[in-house]
A = this chain, B = another copy of it.
Amino acid sequence: MTISLNILRASSVSCYFRNILVIFLLAGIATVCEAAQHEFDMSIDEVTIDVAPGFSNKVFAFNGQVPGPLIHVKEGDDVMVHVTNNSTLPHTVHWHGVNQIGSWQQDGVPDVTQKAIQPGESYTYRFNVDRPGSLWYHCHVNVWEHVAIRGMWGPLIVEPKNPSALEKEVTLDAILMMSAWQSPYANVFGQGGGPKDVSDYFSVNGRSFPITQPIRVKKGDVLRMRFIGAGDETHQMHMHGHDMLVTHKDGYPLASPYYVDTVSVGPGERYDVIVKMNNPGRFIMHDHIDKHMTNNGASLGGPVTIFEYEGIKTDDWYVWHGKAYDPNFFYSDSLKKGYGLFNSAPFMGTVNKQRRRRR
């Protein structure tokens, strides 16, 4: 039966048609097609985002935002994504972590599994999310520019059919996509640094302190953080005041989870950690690579968040005293909305002036 279903999956036919087939073949099994069918639209747009105070960067933005919209589906679901390239350069989308069982042509690698999507063109990806976990998607064309410094990445979270007991305890979910920027190339599409160029801004979800956001919790919360190495650098994420239990690597559950206070998140990797929020106070989390704690050499910057517990009074000297709070900066609200594709207004870029003039 598994084989039959795989064949059906590969054929990319609609679920209704599958049901008919399955009923025909395996009469009496009513729940075979419990997997959902999702159909999403994603554009690739040229916009500008503010990364840090005084520093903005031109990006190729999925649905106009960096990071890209959350795609939240369930293990076994079928996904169809219509990608429209509104930018001036070719792209593809690779679904990092999806194995593409029987659908290698959907893997999104230019000149290997498809030809790149040219400016003005569209392309439809169809695949089954064959394994659960913290996955992500990103462009696979000229990655040293498009992925490293143009923000072409977003989260693809695949809920498992059978979560562990600990996963069921989670009360708060956060996604942290780590990356870096090279300011000399911030304003020139189609150019990126050579090997001698270096990153000078360092981000979580595309922003650097102080325009990152806190994570607000209450005592008793069970927090899951999904770290995604989306950019070109390793980030040594150190959480103060708590024990982080590493439960998954690259979306795969670990047979032997382990505690850390500092998790090394390299390019392409994902680490899920689950943390019992049992220590009311105000605790920082930051990258322990010291230069990543600056914005182009000026301290304090970089991929910083602060855990703010309910009931802890702010102080007037607190660096984020009076800060406007965005509860969705780490996708926490979007992740509560069930399955689908979720855009996020605060991540939206502004249309580049140059392009606007041309229109």
Q: What is the interface of chain A, defined by CB distance below 8 A to chain B?
A: 94, 96-97, 99-102, 104-105, 107, 109, 111-113, 115, 131, 141-145, 147-148, 193-196, 198-200, 229, 231-232, 234, 236, 238, 240-243, 249-252, 254-262, 264, 266-269, 279-284, 288-291, 293-294, 296-297, 299-300, 306, 312, 317-319
- Report yes or no: B99 in contact with A297, Cβ–Cβ below 8 A: no
Query: When the two chains form the complex, which single residue of B107, B243, B267, B296 contacts A99, counting CB atoms closer than 8 Å?
Result: B243
Contact yes or no, A99 B279, CB < 8 A: yes
Whether A281 contacts B107 in the complex (CB less than 8 A), given A250-B260, A252-B260, comes out as yes
Q: Nearest chain B CB to A274's CB is how many angstroms away?
A: 14
Residue of B at shortest CB range from A135?
Answer: B261
Q: How far is the CB of A248 from chain B (nearest CB, A)?
A: 10
* A288, closest chain B residue (CB): B268
- Complex CA distance for A232 and B97, rounded to whole angstroms: 28
A306 close to B112 (CB less than 8 A): yes
Further pairs besides A143-B293, A250-B260: 5, Cβ < 8 Å: A111-B300, A113-B281, A229-B262, A231-B290, A251-B261
Q: Which B residues lie within 8 Å of A260 (CB)?
A: 249-250, 252, 269
B291 adjacent to A148 (CB under 8 Å): yes
Chain B residue contacts of A143, Cβ below 8 A: 290, 293, 299
Asked if A317 and B261 make an inter-chain contact with CB atoms under 8 angstroms apart, the answer reads no
| Complex-state Cα separation, A106 to B105, whole angstroms | 52
Question: Given A256-B256, A262-B268, are A281 and B100 also a contact pair (CB < 8 Å)?
Answer: yes
* Chain B residues with CB below 8 A from A115, complex form: 317
**Does A289 contact B267, Cβ atoms closer than 8 Å?**
yes
Interface of A is mostly: loop
Smallest CB separation, A270 vs chain B (Å)? 8
Residue of B nearest to A231 (CB): B290
A141 to B296, CA, bound (A): 16
From the candidates B107, B289, B319, name the one contacting A283 in the complex (CB within 8 A). Answer: B107
25 A-B pairs (CB sep. < 8 Å)? A96-B261, A100-B240, A104-B280, A104-B282, A107-B283, A107-B284, A112-B284, A113-B283, A141-B299, A143-B290, A143-B299, A144-B293, A144-B299, A195-B199, A195-B200, A195-B291, A195-B296, A196-B200, A229-B288, A236-B268, A250-B259, A250-B261, A254-B258, A262-B267, A262-B269
**A196 to B257 CA separation, bound complex (whole angstroms):** 37
A135 to chain B, nearest CB (A): 9
Q: How far is the CA of A281 from the CA of B256 in the complex (A)?
A: 32
A107 touches B259 (CB 8 A): no
Please indicate which of the listed interface residues A238, A241, A291 has the most CB atoms of chain B within 10 Å of its own CB. A291
Q: Please report the C-alpha to C-alpha distance between residue A280 and residue B145 in the assembled complex, in whole angstroms.
A: 30
Residues of B within 8 A of A193 (CB): 291, 297
Of listed A148, A243, A280, A300, residue having the most chain B CB within 10 A: A300
Q: Which of B144, B261, B264, B318 contacts A111 (CB 8 A)?
A: B318
Residues on B with beta carbons closer than 8 Å to the beta carbon of A267: 236, 262, 288-290
Cβ–Cβ contact A144 & B294, under 8 A? yes
Cα-based distance from A299 to B260 in the complex (angstroms): 35
CA distance A196 to B289 in the complex (A): 14
Shortest CB-to-CB span from A109 to chain B, Å, is 5
Contact B290 A99 (CB under 8 A): no
Residue of B at shortest CB range from A312? Answer: B104
The answer on a CB contact under 8 Å between B104 and A279 is yes
A194 pairs with B296, CB closer than 8 A: yes
